[in-house]
Amino acid sequence: MATPQKRRSARAGTKLTRRTANKHSKRVVIRGNQIIKANWNKEQTLRQNYARLGLLTSLNGSSGGREILNPPTNPEQLGENGGQGVNGEQEELKELTEADIERLKKTLKPGEGLIQRDDDGNVLRVIVGEKKTHDEILEEEFEPVEAKTDVVRALEQQAANVLKRDRHQTELEKDWVGQLIDKHGDDYEAMFWDKKLNIYQQTTSHLRKKCQKYIKEHPQ
């Protein structure tokens, strides 16, 4: 027969102690890169560790869930141009050439725009970002960014020392690329629209690289 004390204990449920509270916590084990494993702080979250190491948890940026502490409220903190424009170029639009405007369009994403106004608030010029084609994205060159932490520098050095293996074309691929060259020469646009040979609809950029590699291995 249960005593009144045991009945009260049963009704109260499990007593929460430090041992029971940590019972279901999962211990994080880093099995990836040894450099990250050596610099990992188990007392911090994944986001905190990545921020400290100079890494990003997502290439797409933050989609919410983060509070911006002490946001800038005055023009001096927003920048010399009051936060308008891209990279502080709002005040320099009057002196830009057509080539500079085209370059500025490439820095804007589709749906983004830059508006230039005069002192009275009238719109002088609107620059809208244009959508890049698939070939432009593949051929785009990015300027190298200087590493900000020792961990990133160590990771870059490790990646630079990786043994690179050259991929050789198979006999089937050589025969296919040879047919494309014999039929279209160096007209990669025509190769792209050739539904009989280019059955997988590879882009002009991919076709150009395959043809250049074929010509390099088979000089005439």
If DSSP states are collapsed to H, E and C, what string results for 142-208? CCCCCCCCHHHHHHHHHHHCCCCCCCCCCHHHHHHHHHHHHHHCCCHHHHHCCCCCCCCCCCHHHHH
Pairwise CA distance, residues 41 & 25, whole Å: 16
The answer to whether residues 160 and 153 touch, using CB atoms and an 8 Å cutoff, is no
Q: Which two tokens stand for residue 17?
A: 């102690």
Q: What percent of the chain has pLDDT over 70?
A: 71
Domain boundary among 97, 128, 159: 128
User: Residue 171's pLDDT band (boundaries 50, 70, 90)?
Assistant: very high
* Residue 197: per-residue pLDDT: 94
pLDDT of 177 > 80? The answer is yes
DSSP 8-state symbol, 111: T
Q: Tell me which of 7-21, 27-41, 131-145, 198-212 is least confident.
A: 7-21
186 or 20, which is more confident: 186
Q: What percent of the chain has pLDDT over 90?
A: 24
pTM here is 0.43
Task: Establish if 187 belongs to a structural domain.
Answer: yes
Query: What are 116-163's pLDDT values in tens digits?
Result: 777 888 887 888 887 776 666 766 777 777 888 999 999 989 988 877
Task: Establish if 96 belongs to a structural domain.
Answer: yes
Task: Establish if 44 belongs to a structural domain.
Answer: no
Which residue range forms the structural domain that includes residue 199? 171-217
**Distances in whole angstroms, Cα of residue 108 to Cα of each of 16, 55, 103, 131:** 54, 24, 9, 9
25 or 121, which is more confident: 121
Task: Establish if 11 belongs to a structural domain.
Answer: no
User: Residue 1's pLDDT band (boundaries 50, 70, 90)?
Assistant: low
Q: Determine the straight-line distance between the first and last CA of the chain, rounded to whole angstroms.
A: 100
User: Three-state secondary structure along 28-88?
Assistant: CCCCCCHHHHHCCCCCCCHHHHHHHHCCCCCCCCCCCCCCCCCCCCCHHHHCCCCCCCCCC
Task: Establish if 166 belongs to a structural domain.
Answer: no
Q: Which two tokens stand for residue 47?
A: 């986001």
**Distances in whole angstroms, Cα of residue 4 to Cα of each of 1, 8, 10, 168:** 10, 6, 10, 81
* Residue 81: per-residue pLDDT: 44
Tell me what the mean pLDDT of segment 157-172 comes to. 84
pLDDT of 75 > 60? The answer is no
Tell me what the mean pLDDT of segment 1-25 comes to. 66
The answer to whether residues 119 and 95 touch, using CB atoms and an 8 Å cutoff, is no
The answer to whether residues 154 and 162 touch, using CB atoms and an 8 Å cutoff, is no
Pairwise CA distance, residues 77 & 60, whole Å: 26
Task: Establish if 39 belongs to a structural domain.
Answer: no
Tell me what the mean pLDDT of segment 43-70 comes to. 77
Task: Establish if 109 belongs to a structural domain.
Answer: yes
Domain boundary among 70, 93, 128: 128
User: Residue 86's pLDDT band (boundaries 50, 70, 90)?
Assistant: very low
| Range picked from 9-23, 31-45, 158-172 for highest mean pLDDT | 31-45
Domain boundary among 128, 152, 184: 128
Task: Establish if 142 belongs to a structural domain.
Answer: no
Pairwise CA distance, residues 159 & 16, whole Å: 48
Q: What total of structural domains would you count in the chain?
A: 2
